[in-house]
Amino acid sequence: MEFRYLGSSGMQISAITYGNWLTHGSQVENDVATRCVRAALDEGITSFDTADAYANGRAETVLGSALNGVRRESLEVFTKVYWPVGPEPRGKNDTGLSRKHIMEGIDGSLRRLQMDYVDLYQAHRYDTFTPLEETMQAFADVVRAGKALYIGVSEWTAEQIRAGHALATELGISLVSSQPQYSMLWRIIEGEVVPTCEELGIGQIVWSPIAQGVLSGKYTPGQEAPAGSRATDINGGANMIRRWLGDDVLTRVQGLRPVADELGLSMAQLAVAWVLQNSNVSAALIGASRPEQVVENAKAAEVTIPADALRRIDEILGDVVTSDPATVAKSVPSERAI
């Protein structure tokens, strides 16, 4: 496994990080979830990403159980706060990045994960209603209490990241990561987020590098989705992946197969390797509904894609690639309902 520094921090993370959105506590049974985690560890993956809101807390619980007994120092565990978690009815303060929600959020996450600290605590979205000063002060207090080592953000704009980073620096804590969607098909961060983060020493931990399975090539135009795939998961997955299942995208994606074949890679490996060609990317955050996928995708670490193959990928995908930040508000899936 390849390891990369998380931004300018001294912490290294596995370039392939395993995430459990939509799978643990939801699409897959707990024994499969545990086998996926074991497969990740066997492949040398040491970094794991979850969130309190995934499967309403169950994803953290399942991950915590699966990692139970593994030497804590050998792992980097990331979680997130923003959306509500726990039984209904929810209170007014169960959402967002207020001091109250962050302080209660970290304790709930640590309890479910059965851990004393997380390595990275991330703001799952930007909270336009809470003063950023309040949010960053709360994060600083979480760090000083030893409950998190580093702070990160997810789906923040370049401007929001810059403001958060300035406050974190004043408070003496490290805002080291940004967690955006990034794949061959979704390249919004390249324009502003990546240059800003390069300047500030912030690394990207990128989500859905295979576009939720679409870039594996298993969905073909005009055909039923394969049984058991995310597109058939009525508990939430089908809704999340739908935007990638149009014939225009699927036809272009099939065009990538010869490129992958020539490089001796599966299409999923090509997709994961593609995001890792960006030097600001600290890790590709892969999901998996079965251990074989983890084993296959982990092999994308340390792959170099030649420049002419990168050019061909761009030509093949053409205008189904999204690069305009104005598209984000409309299209980034909200995990809230899951």
| Residues that bind ligand NDP in the complex, under the rule CB under 6 A | 19-21, 23, 49, 154-155, 179, 207-213, 216, 218, 229-230, 268, 285-289, 293, 296-297, 335
Q: Shortest distance, CB of residue 266 to ligand NDP, whole angstroms? A: 6
Q: Which is nearer to ligand NDP, 196 or 208 (CB)?
A: 208
Residue type, 111: R
C-alpha 235/C-alpha 247 separation (Å) is: 24
Q: Which is nearer to ligand NDP, 105 or 287 (CB)?
A: 287
Q: Which is nearer to ligand NDP, 171 or 285 (CB)?
A: 285
Could you tell me if 17 and 45 are in contact, meaning their C-beta atoms sit under 8 angstroms apart?
A: yes
Q: Shortest distance, CB of residue 129 to ligand NDP, whole angstroms? A: 19
Helix/strand/coil for 318:
helix
Could you tell me if 45 and 1 are in contact, meaning their C-beta atoms sit under 8 angstroms apart?
A: yes
Distance (Å) of CA 263 to CA 15, 214, 267, 273, 310 = 20, 19, 10, 11, 11
C-alpha 117/C-alpha 312 separation (Å) is: 44
Q: Which are the catalytic amino acids?
A: 54
Q: Which is nearer to ligand NDP, 171 or 275 (CB)?
A: 275
Q: Shortest distance, CB of residue 140 to ligand NDP, whole angstroms? A: 22
Which residues does residue 152 pair with via DSSP β-bridges, in sequence order?
A: 122, 177
Q: Shortest distance, CB of residue 17 to ligand NDP, whole angstroms? A: 8
C-alpha 56/C-alpha 77 separation (Å) is: 18
